Structure 1
Amino acid sequence: MKIRPLSIDGAWEISPQQHGDPRGLFLEWYRFDRLAAAIGHPLRLAQANLSVSAHGVVRGLHFADLPPGQAKYVTCVRGAVIDVVVDIRVGSPTFGQWEAVRLDDDDRRAVYLSEGLGHGFCALTDDATLSYLCSATYNPAAEHTVHPLDPELAITWPTEAPLLSARDAAAPTLAQARAAGQLPDYQTCRSLLASRNSAATPASTEGGHR
C-alpha cells in the first residue's frame, strides 16, 4: 500500500497492492495503522456509506461544520469516478484550489480527506459505486454544499451535461458560502488535527487472507 499526499494539505491518495491469481484477487483497501502513520492520527470510524450513481452524475461539493467536521476515506468498488477534493478552508494557502483523482475498480485507489475539505465526484460509468468511511455520523443540520459548477472554482468535470441533485443545483458559490460564514477556518482545522496527532500507531506489516 502506497500513501502519498495530494497538493492540498490534508488530502492523500492511497494505492493498494493487488494480489491476483486464477481465482481472482485480494487487496487491503484500508489499513488504519498505515493511514494513521501517514496522517498522524487514526481515523475515527463512525459511519460507512455506499453511493451508487448513473453516468454523468455530479455530487458535491459537500462539507460539514467544524467541530467535529467529517473526514472521509473514499474508494470506488464498481465502475469509475473522478473524485475531487477542494480546499474551502478560509486562510489556507491553497484556498479555492482543487485536485482530481480517478477512482475505479481497476487500480482500486482511495482518497482520504481530512475535516474541513470539500468533496465531490463525477460518475464516469453507470452504477458507479463509492464506499465511504466517515469519522462522524451524518448530521443534516451541520452539512453544507458549495455549487460544483461555480465558475470561480472552474472544476473540469468530465461530462458535458452534469446531473445534479436539487440541493446541489441550488447551492451557493464559494464566495457566497464564505460571505455567509459557512466555510471552515484553516487555523481551526489545523488546531483540530494537531489535537489528534498524538495518537500512537502500532507497527504492522502487509498481511491478510489471500
Structure 2
Amino acid sequence: MNAIETKLKGCFILEPTVFEDERGYFFESYNSGKLEQILGYKPNFVQDNQSRSSYGVVRGLHMQEGEHSQAKLVRVIEGSVIDVVVDVRSESPTYGESVAVELTAENKKQLFIPRGFLHGFSVISENAIFFYKCDNGYNKASEDGINPLDIELNIDWKIPIEQMIISDKDKEAQMFRDFKIKNLK
C-alpha cells in the first residue's frame, strides 16, 4: 500500500497494491496494522456506512463535533466521486483549507480523514456506491456542517451548479464565516 499525506496533516490518500490476472483482481482494502504504521496510531473503527447516489448528488459538508467526532476511511465501490475534506481543527496551520481527491472503483484509492475535518463528496459518474468506516458512532446532537456551495471555501465539485442535487439540509447549512465565529466562542 502506498500512502500519500495530503497538505492537510494526518489526511492520507491510500493506494492499494492490486494484483490482476485473467480472473480479475485482488487487493487488500483494509489492514489495521498497515494503517497503524502509516498513521502512528491505531484507529478503532466501530461502524461501516454505505450510500448509493446518482450523478450530480453533492453530500456534505458534514462532521460531528466534540466527543462524538469521527475519523473516516472512505472509498468508492462503484462509479466515481470527488471527495472533499476541509480542515477545521482550530489550532491547525491549514485551518479552512481543503483537499479534493477523485475516488473511483477503478483507481481503488481510499482517503483517511482524521477527526476535526468537514467531509463531503459529489458524484461525477452515472451512479456511485460510497463506503466508509468510522471510528465513532453517529450522534445526531453532535452534527455540524457547512453549505457545500460556500463562497469562501470555493470548492469545485466538478458538476455544473444547475445539475447539482443537494439536500435541503445541506442547502440551509451555515456558511463558513458563521462556523468560524461560532467556534471562536
* TM-score bin (small chain): over 0.9
CA distance in 1, matches of 2:3, 2:184: 31
CA distance in 1, matches of 2:90, 2:126: 35
Deviations 1:2-39 (A, max 9, x none): 11111111200000011111111100111111111111
- Match for 1:2: what amino acid? N
Runs of 4+ in structure 1 deviating by more than 2 angstroms, as ranges, are 180-183
Q: Secondary structure at the match of 1:180?
A: helix
Q: Secondary structure at the match of 2:121?
A: strand
Partner of 1:45: 45
CA distance in 2, matches of 1:147, 1:182: 19
- Match for 2:34: what amino acid? R
Q: Secondary structure at the match of 1:34?
A: helix
Q: Does 1:176 align with 2:174?
A: no
Partner of 2:27: 27
- Match for 2:109: what amino acid? R
CA distance in 2, matches of 1:12, 1:33: 16
Give, in angstroms, the shift of residue 182 of structure 1: 8.5
Deviations 1:52-89 (A, max 9, x none): 11101111111111224100000000000011111122
Partner of 1:107: 107
Partner of 2:95: 95
Q: Does 1:166 align with 2:161?
A: no
TM-score by length of 1: 0.84
Alignment of 1:1-210 (within 5 A): 1-161=1-161, 162-181=164-183
- Match for 1:180: what amino acid? K
The total of aligned residue pairs comes to 183
Give, in angstroms, the shift of residue 139 of structure 1: 0.5
CA distance in 2, matches of 1:89, 1:148: 18
Cα RMSD after superposing both structures: 1.4
CA distance in 2, matches of 1:73, 1:90: 22
Give, in angstroms, the shift of residue 180 of structure 1: 2.2
CA distance in 1, matches of 2:88, 2:57: 22
- Structure 2 residue runs of 5 or longer lacking an equivalent are none
Partner of 1:199: none
Q: Secondary structure at the match of 1:112?
A: strand
- Structure 1 residue runs of 5 or longer lacking an equivalent are 184-210
Q: Secondary structure at the match of 1:141?
A: helix
CA distance in 2, matches of 1:180, 1:165: 23
Q: Is the 8 A contact 1:66 1:115 kept in 2?
A: no
CA distance in 2, matches of 1:115, 1:152: 22
